[in-house]
Chain A
């Protein structure tokens, strides 16, 4: 660990903290439908969208209505994307004449992008036509992110409102978030990336003759426009196979800093939006504080583990683990990126996680297994953390024998049951499918590495899918009917089996009246609550996943110290 390494980490944290309030204030204005600079310019476009779609933005929906609208929109998006991927060979903007994706790969990729997972079973430049990248993947990058933000806003309304039957209008939330938040941020950001060196063109791949006379075919494409939303929307699916490790996606250490900031920006700001909506910004800062503690603990652990010795490599004369890392980033910026991308549900990578030291690779896994509540996916992180908040106040209530309250809302049996349902969905997928793949030949066939690391590859894959992250221990060959299908199912359950109970909770809370705080009310905007929340997140995640982690990364670390290789 070096001082410059820690400086990069601290500068990153400082910049995120500075972004929280201004961006939060702006997002709130947008989702409340208030006037702002951009609504004057883009207002006519917004109203045109509503007219064409037959939507009245004033007409709010119950939680059922909101959920059905969200499901219908997501299903339509899935169907369209599947169709594009299956027919890309006949469509324009395919200069490399790439063939259609196989049914299982198209199924996996379409689910992956609709659920904001962006898992790469596909190979980027070797698989996708420019048209598929643009009207398929770029579009879902935007709207899956907008869907997540809309859902977090709907849940926040449930906490903020009293005796309300409605949570807002999904169509209006979706349109406003896209037009006024994501698109205006992406346009300058994409141009910044081009300035740093990210290509943006529709040219065929370039054939170069290297200095030694060999041919080198260089992938091209509209990369910057997709890269911007890939990071801001915590999507993470690369235009190119090597994702943000590729110099065409992430050419400099400066573009790398911008990418890391853009992964966290919106998710961090949403804690502030929540605080403002419930009328107490400190409530938002308490959530942000709990996330910050978990984040810094993860960074410190991963940085320490990655810079500790690997006796196997040292014996071979390699004193620093640069396998899978780019020279321009080095170890600190690679580890920081790995923790950020899995704390948020981004899944972009600037170094290959598969080649991280065992315990450093375990930190991304734990981040995802905790439910990606450390900033998390745009929207998904906030509603995920709020589920843990409900669990935390419930446990606090049990300790003192009092009906738990949060923000004046009584948390009762219905909410707690729904919360537990939502929190159990993802562990069920991860552990269930990992055990299945671990005993079936179909699952073992995809492994590159043997020994405990092979188990880690499987565990990481289902963790990443169920958590809608999308990063990988990429030694696993996941483009097979077995993995494409089971990972697709894990992504679907990991997204919607959390969203539906969460919206039901929002509906049920919104309908309740608030009770005035009394002397027995447990305050939820102070350090004690933050500590309780962190404890609940760690205990639930720890108890659920420790046995699996012991078989994977922990066993591998012991093997490594013993000098065993596989």
Chain B
């Protein structure tokens, strides 16, 4: 079907055929060939990242190096409050809290968290990132100050010297990209995995792997 549209100058050729044909050809190129080509190259060159940077332990997927997860036990470092899903850290339902700066609900949540954290470690000021929810609800990082804040609790729960735990925090702190972009952070899951591995090494008698 061709529709001829009269204008003041001259009739234009049909517009329906080019609209439909170009849309379908571009859909094929941009909607299938392009993403499939990127998928193919990515899985060959960067298979780990392309698959979601999954971390395995004993052959089981324990999470993604890029995503935070819930930690509640005293022997683990805890991440930030999370607005993802009803229980937090739902990696199939990312979200911030979206509370505005004058929100009563925000102030109540902060007060409750501050009371809980303050009970465990009275008298120390709480770093801001431990009292605020991230944008994604899946922030894998906490600030170095927030990790240091928890070091004594984790060390006591695990029976490790505090200095050893602080050293492990340093080892798992990544600096600013290119020295000036963003902020330093500690990957909570990676640090907790290292703590578990350390515990495993200490339990194993010397000489036996």
Contacts and interface: CB of A to CB of B under 8 A. Distances in A.
Contact of B66 (A143, A208, A251): A251
A69 interface: yes
Contact of A556 (B52, B93, B102): B102
Contact of A245 (B25, B101, B135): B135
Nearest to B11: A65
Given A142-B30, A143-B26, A76 B182 contact: no
Band of interface residues on B? 35 or more
Interface in B22-55: 22-23, 25-27, 29-32, 34-35, 37-39, 41-43, 45-46, 49-54
B154 interface: no
Given A52-B25, A216-B91, A208 B42 contact: no
A289 interface: no
A560 B107 CA distance: 12
A469 to B, nearest CB: 17
A330 B143 CA distance: 10
Contacts of A254: 177-178, 181
Given A216-B63, A246-B138, A224 B38 contact: yes
Nearest to B125: A317
B150 interface: no
A222 B143 contact: no
Given A246-B138, A323-B106, A256 B182 contact: yes
B72 interface: yes
Contact of B9 (A62, A212, A256): A62
Nearest to A96: B92
A135 interface: yes
A196 interface: yes
A8 interface: yes
B111 A316 contact: yes
B13 A59 contact: yes
A388 interface: no
Contact of B12 (A61, A73, A317): A61
Contact of A206 (B49, B54, B101): B54
A392 B189 CA distance: 56
Nearest to B181: A253
A125 B7 CA distance: 46
Given A126-B92, A197-B49, A333-B182, A80 B101 contact: no
A399 to B, nearest CB: 35
Contact of A252 (B35, B37, B182): B182
Contacts of B157: none
A126 B102 contact: no
A326 B141 contact: yes
B135 A242 contact: yes
B99 A125 contact: no
Contacts of A11: 180
A194 B23 contact: no
B129 interface: yes
B196 interface: yes
A248 to B, nearest CB: 6
Contacts of B26: 139, 142-143, 178
Contacts of B178: 254
A328 B107 contact: no
Nearest to A12: B181
A218 B100 contact: no
Interface stretch (A183-191, A436-444, A494-502): A183-191
B103 A211 contact: no
A11 B84 CA distance: 33
A434 interface: no
B34 A183 contact: yes
Interface string B1-26: 00001011110111111111111011
A496 to B, nearest CB: 16
Contacts of A225: 34-35, 38-39
A272 to B, nearest CB: 26
A245 B94 CA distance: 9
A82 B76 CA distance: 47
A54 B31 contact: no
A334 to B, nearest CB: 8
A80 B24 CA distance: 9
Contact of B38 (A55, A125, A191): A191
Interface string A64-93: 110011001101110010000000000000
A432 interface: no
Contacts of B63: 208, 210-211, 216, 218
B60 interface: yes
A216 B189 CA distance: 13
Interface string A350-362: 1110111110000
A126 B29 CA distance: 26
B164 interface: no
6 contacts: A125-B93, A199-B52, A318-B131, A322-B134, A323-B96, A474-B98
Given A138-B35, A246-B135, A247-B67, 16 more contacts: A54-B14, A59-B13, A64-B8, A76-B20, A76-B23, A125-B93, A139-B26, A171-B22, A187-B37, A217-B90, A220-B51, A224-B50, A242-B136, A248-B52, A324-B96, A327-B134
